[in-house]
Structures are given as C-alpha cells and as structure tokens.
Amino acid sequence: MREVNLAGLDLNLLPALEALLRRRNVTHAAAEVGLSQPAMSRALARLRETFGDPLLIRAGGGLAPTPLARSLAPKVGAALDELRGLFRAEDFDPAALHRVIRLAGGDAHAILIGPRLMARLEVEAPGVDLRFEAVGRDIISRMEQGEVDLCLATATTPLPPGVFSEELARDRLALVMRRGHPAANRAWTLADYAAFPHATVAFFADGVSEIDARLAAAGVERRIALTSPYFMAAVAAVAASDLVTTISAAFARRFAGALDLVLRPPPFDDALDMTMVGMKLRAADPAMQWFRRVLREEAAAAYAE
C-alpha cells in the first residue's frame, strides 16, 4: 500500500469504507451511511485509488475482501471511534444511545446475566438492544471485524495479541448430580470420575476441557456420555439419569431446587473466575466503557445470588 497524503484525504470516505468492509455489499453499505448506490460506487472507486488496492472483488455472487481490506477492517472501526470521540460531548448519556450490543457466550451467561442486564437497560438505556451469540472458533475474527463487541470467558482462556480481559465475577465449579444418585451422599475422589458417565458442555467440536487435563495428569479417564454446547442440556440430562456434570456452581444453584439436584465440591481446585474479553482497539469507545461497567456490576450480583 502506497503512502497516503493525509492533507488530501477526504475523511468522509472513512464511514463508507467501514460500512463496505463490514457489509461487503455496495447497496447495503450505501443505505447504512445514507448514500445513493452510485455515490457509494464512486466512493469505492476513490478508496481503491487511495489505497492502490481493489479492496473488494467479486466472488461467488458477492464481494470478497482482499488481504489488505481484511487487515484494514478493525483499524478503520477503531479510527472512526477515535474520531467521533474528538467531537463527542464529555458527558456520555446512555439514555440517548441507540445501538445493538453483541455478547458472545453460553446459555448459562444469557440465563444468569441476561435478565439483570435487560432490567438495567430498560431504565438507563432503553435504546440499546442486546444480542447473545455463540462463541465458536472464529470469535476473535468476529470481534476484530466488529461483529461481536465482547466475549464472556473464564480467566484461564488464552488471549491473543490485541485483546484485553477484565474480571467479571468469582464463581466455583460444582459437581452436579440428581438427588438419589448412587454417589450423591459422599465426598468424591478423582477415581470416582472414572466410575460414572458424564455430561459436558463444549463450545468447540473437539470437547477438550481443563478438567480432562487434570484427570489425565492423575491417570484418570472418564466416560463422556453426553456433549452439548448448552449448560441447560447438561443439567436436564443429569436430573433424569445417573450422569454427572461439573459446571458453574452459580448456574447449577439456579436450577437445583426445580430439578432436584445435588451439588458437591469437585476433588480438585474449583475456582472459576469469569471475565469479559474485547479488542483493545475499541476499548476507548464511551458507550462500551459504560456497558462494561454495567456488565461488571450485574455479573457480580448474578453470580453472588
């Protein structure tokens, strides 16, 4: 990419560029930024000339980004946030905010935190809509592209460069089984993990977990009879069978009474610290700074119940 003369750069092209890179459709991008389709086509032509790159090329009936365009996408979004900050009033008013905030996480997060967040948003920011989305292996790419704002994770989740993490709440792991389970009334040992079938929650297809790594280090192998991306599926299966599961104690407590479940401490370190993960490039966005504070407060209260 050739060097650009900033003095001759039309900053009005930046919103068009951001919309084009995100929507990958001239008509949709034009509607989003309030331009006609011919005007957006002219903007794309000027952007191609500025960067010395086609940016978007026709492929498979649509537009596909070039390698340069892929690298520009997160930078353009961050640059627009910074520019808007220059002209934004110092006092941020969430009541005037109109946007969709997207959180990636599991159904346990949506069940535990979602209701509290919605109650808070109704009062403080009625124009904000909340979307919970699946995690998936492409979560970092989706955050880089601005498709996801924050991801809910654990403190042990490895983070790549350009990503930040903030603590949300302290939780514990709980060994969960139905009342009347053959091993419900005694303390468990590591060896017991090999004696009963398990239900596990896995966001990724391989189902690899830290618990299995701990068991393997002790020479113990468990049978995983059920794997699901849903915590609710795990506790429902445990309630109806002799399966056991090891999951968030806060989530298990929420359904222990209704499903007649027994919670026991597992025979290993049961700390489970919850975090939120986001892109450093967008960390200065006042709207997201406000929302992260709300998320911290509501998550801490939800996991303490």
DSSP codes joined into one string, 76-130 = HHHHHHHHHHHHS-SS--GGG--EEEEEE--HHHHHHTHHHHHHHHHHH-TTEEE
Which CATH number belongs to the domain containing residue 220 in this structure?
3.40.190.10
Say which residue, 294 or 84, is predicted with more confidence: 294
Query: Are 267 and 279 in a shared domain?
Result: no
Query: Are 82 and 99 in a shared domain?
Result: no
Q: Residue 182, Cβ neighbours under 10 Å: how many?
A: 10
Is a pLDDT exceeding 50 seen at residue 1?
no
208 sits in which H/E element: none
Closest CA to 128 of 138, 119, 137, 139: 119
Query: Are 161 and 176 in a shared domain?
Result: no
Counting every residue written for the chain, the total comes to 305
The model's pLDDT over 99-115, given as tens digits with 9 standing for 90+, comes to: 999 999 999 999 999 99
Here the tokens at position 256 are 């222990």
Mean predicted confidence (pLDDT) in 145-154: 91
Query: Are 292 and 165 in a shared domain?
Result: yes
Domain assignment of residue 1, yes or no: no
Radius of gyration from C-alpha coordinates of the chain: 24
Arithmetic mean of pLDDT over the chain:
88
Say which residue, 107 or 11, is predicted with more confidence: 107
Query: Are 132 and 103 in a shared domain?
Result: yes
Mean predicted confidence (pLDDT) in 257-269: 94
What are the counts of helices (DSSP H) followed by strands (DSSP E) for the chain?
Answer: 11, 11
Query: Are 33 and 161 in a shared domain?
Result: no
Mean predicted confidence (pLDDT) in 18-46: 87
Is a pLDDT exceeding 90 seen at residue 259?
yes
Percent of the chain residues topping a pLDDT of 90 = 52
Tell me, what's the pLDDT at 280?
Answer: 84
What is the Cα–Cα distance from 29 to 188, expressed in whole angstroms?
Answer: 57
88 sits in which H/E element: none
Is a pLDDT exceeding 50 seen at residue 151?
yes
What residue numbers bound the domain in which 126 lies? Answer: 94-169+274-304
Q: Number of structural domains, the chain?
A: 3
Domain assignment of residue 280, yes or no: yes
Q: In the beta sheet, which residues pair with residue 247?
A: 174
Q: Residue 152, Cβ neighbours under 10 Å: how many?
A: 23
Q: Using pLDDT thresholds of 50, 70 and 90, give the confidence band for residue 270.
A: confident
Query: Are 186 and 43 in a shared domain?
Result: no
Longest Cα–Cα distance of the chain, Å, equals 76
Here the tokens at position 292 are 């992260």
Domain assignment of residue 258, yes or no: yes
Contact of 119 with 243, CB cutoff 8 Å: no
Query: Are 174 and 263 in a shared domain?
Result: yes
